[in-house]
């Protein structure tokens, strides 16, 4: 069985894992309803994308 010759230091371990941090999601304002949405996606609140209605029923509308 292969065993490491020396203990990995805390600094070396943390330097190796420095790219594992999570990034903040970019949000933009919907031009139609002014809600914060992910760019290049249809708005989940009003159903518009590039000033056109692309989703017939928005997610937050009540089903009647």
Q: What is the pLDDT of residues 11-54, one digit of tens each?
A: 999 999 999 999 999 999 999 999 999 999 999 999 999 989 99
- Residue 7 burial (C-beta neighbours within 10 Å; 0-12, 13-18, 19+): exposed
What predicted TM-score, i.e. pTM, was given to this entire model?
Answer: 0.55
Residues 4-8 have a mean pLDDT of: 94
Q: What is the DSSP letter of 5?
A: S
* Torsions phi, psi for 10 (to 5 deg): -65, -40
pLDDT at 64 over 50: no
* 58 within 8 A of 47, measured Cβ to Cβ: yes
pLDDT of residue 57: 63
Q: Is the pLDDT assigned to residue 62 strictly greater than 70?
A: no
């Amino acid at each position: 069985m292969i065993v490491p010759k020396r203990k990995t230091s805390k600094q070396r371990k943390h330097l190796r894992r420095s790219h594992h941090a999570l990034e903040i999601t970019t949000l933009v304002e919907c031009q139609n309803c002014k809600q914060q949405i992910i760019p290049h996606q249809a708005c989940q609140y009003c159903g518009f994308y590039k000033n056109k209605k692309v989703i017939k029923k928005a997610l937050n509308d009540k089903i009647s």
